[in-house]
Amino acid sequence: MNLRLAETHPEDYPTTLGDKRFAELVGERSDGRINVEVFAGAQLGEEASVIEQVQTGAIEMTRVSSSPMSEFTQNMGVFSLPFIFDDSEHMWRFLEGGDGQALLDGLGDSGFKGLTYFDPGARSFYNTGDPVSAVEDLQGLKFRIQQSDISVAFMEALGISPTPMDYGEVYSGLQSGLIDGAENNPPSYFSASHYEVAQNYTLDEHTRVPEVLIMNQAAWDQLDDADKELIQTAATDATPFQRERWNGQVEEDMNALREAGINIVSVDDISLWKDAVEPVIEQFEGDYGAVLDQIRAAS
């Protein structure tokens, strides 16, 4: 059995290493009968297109961000709301608890089997031109965002002009001046070389958008119980490895960014940023109130 797994990041990126660990465990535990083939570096397409292909079954598996997933399964959108987690521990308490797992299971309604979450770190803004340390500095700037309606609302609340765009187009967008900035965690900002063309990195840590490992639901349904168990356990067991690699990579990349002379900017007063986006949380309280309460309860 051959299962193709699409991954947008390069070979040595922590999510790709998590995918490969998963593939290795599946291979070992099935004595090579089930082969998970990892296609790194967006070889099978950009995330929005890959998710669609996993939904139809053209590709069996992918590791993606829950942000573009929200266009296919609304519940995942909650993670694109800003400042909902206090820190990484809070996020993991929620994800590993019953409510986080229920959210992953809910992907079944949209044709996906959710296997596990991977660590996404925290996303922060980066831009060309003058550094950003306060909400006023963001006014009117054009920033690339992930494909999600919630991100549009949240960026607008900060005064940004949001431009949804594929990840693979961000570098040239920054270079040509089509956009003034984007936002991501340190390993993405570094590995995609965006730091070369946008040299201010503002550590506002506005979102933690979990990565998800998913499979086409019909392909999952065709597996017998023993193989389902084998694949699920391999995904669960690959997760601590991915999290460990993640933490190491963030540290390494922050050092590399400092060495490259990147202007790492701290925020003047983060409570003002939170105040600015509060109306967005209220706006989405109708759709996500129940899960927001669960997230608050895990704080």
User: Phi, psi (5° rounding) for residue 15?
Assistant: -70, -40
Q: Which amino acid, one-letter code, is at 110?
A: S
Sites for ligand GTR among residues 64-83 (CB under 6 A):
64-65
Residue 8 binds ligand GTR, judged by CB under 6 A = yes
Residue 47 binds ligand GTR, judged by CB under 6 A = yes
C-beta of 37: minimal distance to ligand GTR in Å? 19
Nearer to ligand GTR, 19 or 47 (CB): 47
Residue 230 binds ligand GTR, judged by CB under 6 A = no
Residue 16 binds ligand GTR, judged by CB under 6 A = no
Calpha distance 5→21 (Å, rounded): 12
Q: Tell me which of 79, 94, 167, 220 binds ligand GTR, using CB under 6 A.
A: 167
Residue 60 binds ligand GTR, judged by CB under 6 A = no
- The residue to which tokens 């996404």 are assigned: 120
Nearer to ligand GTR, 34 or 205 (CB): 205
Residue 180 binds ligand GTR, judged by CB under 6 A = no
C-beta of 81: minimal distance to ligand GTR in Å? 16
C-beta of 249: minimal distance to ligand GTR in Å? 12
C-beta of 3: minimal distance to ligand GTR in Å? 19
| Piece of the chain touching ligand GTR by CB under 6 A; list 16-24, 100-108, 180-188, 232-240 | 180-188
| Residue 1 in tokens | 């059995």
- The residue to which tokens 């550590």 are assigned: 203
C-beta of 32: minimal distance to ligand GTR in Å? 29
C-beta of 123: minimal distance to ligand GTR in Å? 7
Residue 151 binds ligand GTR, judged by CB under 6 A = no
Residue partners of 252: CB distance under 8 A and separation at least 6: none
Q: Tell me which of 62, 151, 188, 239 binds ligand GTR, using CB under 6 A.
A: 188
Residues near ligand GTR, by CB under 6 A: 8, 15, 47, 64-65, 120, 146, 167, 184-185, 188, 211
